[in-house]
Amino acid sequence: MYSLDAAQTSLCVTVWAAVGHRDRPNDLAGGTERGDRAVQVAHSGQHLFVRKISDASDKWKGSGVGYDTFLSIPIRSTTKTFGLLTVDAPVSGDITPAMVATWRLAAAILATIFALRDGRDPAIREAASSTTSADAELPPDCDGTPVPKP
C-alpha cells in the first residue's frame, strides 16, 4: 500500500507484504515520470490493471522486478485521496479482471478507515470514540510519524 505525502505529490510504501516473490517495492517520488503517473492514478479514482508487463506500453511497465502483472486501485474517499492499493504477482494471469471488483472494495474499506482516522466527519469521529476500534493501530503517515487517534 502506498500513502500520499502531505503535499499530495509522492507515494511512499507504508504497508508491504509478499509471499517470498519480491523485495520491498520502491517509493514513487513526485517529479519523476513514474511517480507522477502513479500520483495521477491515485487522484483519478480509476484503477490501473496491467495483465502482462512485457506487453504493456512503456508508460505502465513499472520496474517489473519480481512481478509480471499488477493492479493499482486508488484509496479515496469522496473528499480526499489517501494513496494506492497495489497488488502484483510474479506470473501473468495470477491477477484477473474478475478480481478487480474485490480489490476495489478493499481499497474502499481502507479509504473509510483512513477517513475515520482523520476524523473528517464528526459523526464518524463520534462513533469511533465510543468503540474500541478507535484504539486499533494504524499505519504511520508517509514521514513515519505515528497517526493520532481520532
Q: What is the mean pLDDT of residues 52-78?
A: 81
Q: Looking at the DSSP assignment, which residues form a beta bridge with residue 81?
A: 76
H or E element that contains 72: strand 69-76
Q: For residue range 38-55, list pLDDT tens digits in order.
A: 999 999 999 999 988 888
Residue 82 CB-density burial (10 A; 0-12 exposed, 13-18 middle, 19+ buried): buried
Grid cell listed for 57: 506500453
- In this prediction the pTM is 0.75
Rg (CA), the chain: 16
> Cβ–Cβ contacts within 10 Å for residue 10, how many?
21
Q: pLDDT for 84-117, tens place per residue?
A: 999 988 899 999 999 999 999 999 999 998 888 8
- Confidence band, pLDDT 50/70/90 cuts, at residue 134: very low
146 Cβ neighbours under 8 A, 6+ residues apart: 140
Q: What percent of the chain has pLDDT over 90?
A: 37
In the prediction, which pLDDT does 40 show?
94
Secondary structure element (H or E) that encloses residue 85, with its range: strand 81-89
| Distance from C-alpha of 129 to C-alpha of 74, rounded to nearest angstrom | 27
Report the CATH fold assignment for 2-135: Beta-Lactamase (3.30.450)
The sign of the torsion formed by the CA atoms of 69, 5, 33, 41 equals: positive
- Cα torsion for 102, 105, 106, 111, to the nearest 10°? 160
Mean pLDDT computed over every residue of the chain: 80
Confidence band for 150, pLDDT divided at 50, 70 and 90 = very low
Does residue 125 register a pLDDT over 80? no
